[in-house]
Amino acid sequence: MTATNQLEQLKQFTVVVADTGDFATMKQFAPRDATTNPSLILKAAAMPDYAWLIDRALADAGRTASTAQVIDRLLVLFGLEILRIVPGRVSTEVDARLSFDRDATVAKAREIIGLYQQAGIPRERILIKIASTWEGIQAAALLQQEGIRCNLTLLFSFAQAVACAAARVQLISPFVGRILDWHRKSTGQEYAPAEDPGVRSVTEIYTYYKKFGHATEVMGASFRNKGEILELAGCDLLTIAPALLAELQAGTGPVVRKLDPAAAATAVLQPVSFDEKHFRFALNEDAMATEKTAEGIRLFSADIVKLEALLAQKRG
């Protein structure tokens, strides 16, 4: 059967991932994978339909458990419900407040994987989301060696992407829309999808990875409009919010593959590498990436604090 709507066409050469914590919405788009983050979980946890998950997390953790332990259980319970819907993987995020602590990030990731394994879920179906700080990337390198697959998030720069590939992480999530947000604010300009700075960033990373045979998967994230998604058709994966999934599902125009490994292989590029000091300098030189990484960590940290408050209120 020939795919008619744009979502089905896109699925022919890109893995579509649902960017939501809302199970009901997820079912209608049949994604292969799903991603969550503290902001999405906080939003879902505040919905009456999901109050039972908070009650279950509190009951499972017990009265003596710390708030952090209850949150871990809540994140995993959301993940377990999502895995009933998607055939592939779910991404579960480490507390953003650990973004500059390699060892604490590793310990937290092991705890999360342990909870999934207790529920009978093999680690191959879980991606641990970690911020793309130097410490986060080094934590991911250690975790990958243990067979714990990682999704490096809050990624805004080529230097971050190169360091992730060197760490052999499973997957990266470059944030297309947030890059666009920064450039719009900085320049006052609007950008056509093909000229979108976020689209160009992901295209550069994808081309570099395919040119030099890096196995790390590229998953474009944080989209602001359908045009950005269509310009990245052919990317390994794209994680898309429900509103844009619906827009693609309603769209009937042709979807043309824009990113292709064969084309990337012919690109004229030189391999690069970053040790810690050169990574930090390269990130510092990129004002957009520095500001958006820091802002993302702050926002996710703030939402974890709000989630803690919600749980404390429930606990009484």
- The reported pLDDT for the residue numbered 194 is 97
Instruction: Collect all residues with Cβ–Cβ distance below 8 Å to 167 and sequence separation of at least 6.
Output: 137, 138, 140, 141, 144
* H or E stretch at 18: strand 15-19
CB 90 within 8 A of CB 151: no
Which 8-state DSSP code applies to residue 244? H
Residues of the chain with pLDDT under 70: 1-3
Catalytic residue list contains 129: yes
Q: Is 7 exposed, middle or buried (0-12, 13-18, 19+ CB in 10 A)?
A: buried
The CATH number for 6-315, chosen from 3.30.2270.10, 3.20.20.70, 3.40.430.10, 3.40.50.720, is 3.20.20.70
Tell me the whole-structure pTM to 2 decimals: 0.95
pLDDT at 3: 63
pLDDT of residue 2: 57
What pLDDT, on the 0 to 100 scale, is given for residue 1? 45
| pLDDT at residue 24 in the model | 81
- Which residue type sits at 220? G
Catalytic residue among 129, 210, 211, 292: 129
Letter string b/e over residues 179-204, b meaning 16 or more CB atoms within 10 A of that residue's CB:
bbbbbeeeeeeebebeebbbbebbbe
DSSP at 155: E
Q: Residue 61 has what pLDDT? A: 87
